[in-house]
Structure 1
Amino acid sequence: MAEQSTDLKAIMRRDERHRKMLNDPDLTGDLLLFALGLDEVIATRQAQGRKTSGKSWMTAITRLVSGDEGYRRYWAKHVVERDVPRYEPSKSRGRGCIAPMIRREGLCGQPGSTHVLDLDPMTGEGAEGYLCARHRGLEAKYLALKRQWHANGEPSPSANTGGVLRRYFNADWDGIYRWASPWREPLEGGREATPPRPTLRLIQGEGEVSS
């Protein structure tokens, strides 16, 4: 009876984890498919008394989600690589020129063609932007900031993207991330959790579906 109670608690915990995964706006597409596959592989191996260690579980996940371990052989590795905790500069919301105007307040705003990175050489924080043909000469300023950042040892702020998988699974994620992306060192932190999607509730009778 105690064993059945333990099994029921484990099933309930797993069901709750699945609900959180499916309602996590940061966990979508292949990343969600990978997470659900990993959860199933862990549960199956635990039921069989086997450890989830080494890299064989990556093959098991690929086989589970595709039916063929040879299909998209490096799919699982690529999914993990895209989840490496890292810092990414804020993206430009358009291609308007970011050069400050002299005779009026604000930015130029004309269509830009030259991509630049406005980088803080002391912290590594940055924001992408564009310069129009008229203000292309300002590109030298941003290149100088990048050279200064290199001279300062390339400081990096905390991660602001990636790290979603380690919200749900305890593992040596630093080691796993290094395996998936040897050229990039996983940073502390990760993408700040987005509030879960609103849940829909079905009202019986003449009511409506509402959040």
Structure 2
Amino acid sequence: MVCGARSRHTVVEKDPTTGWDIEHRYCARHHDHAERVAAQVVEQNRAAPEPVPNIGGLLACYFKADWATVYRRHSPGWTPPIYGIRADDWPTQGRAAAPARGLRLVVEVGSSRAR
């Protein structure tokens, strides 16, 4: 808020690094300032990356189900994030995504221990 009065207008700016929304609120007296800020963030918002989800995704990590159908049934209009439904598959903001690695089996060959 610019002046501390009740907000009437909200301008959403997308963080250029994370894609998360940053809300700027303006009162009725500062409507012209809100319009200027809204015009300034148009290109930045278009160029912002798809945000990494910051809620949900945990049930899919522990239980097998058709989670896309469940989520759509309870939140009409929901679409799966581009990073997937499982929170374990989401990158951590500020860190590069680690490459997925499979399990490794270590076999001891030629042990001198008696069995």
Q: TM-score normalized by structure 2?
A: 0.50
Whichever structure has more helix as a proportion of its residues is 1
Provide TM-score, normalisation by structure 1: 0.31
The structure whose residues are more often strand, as a share, is: 2
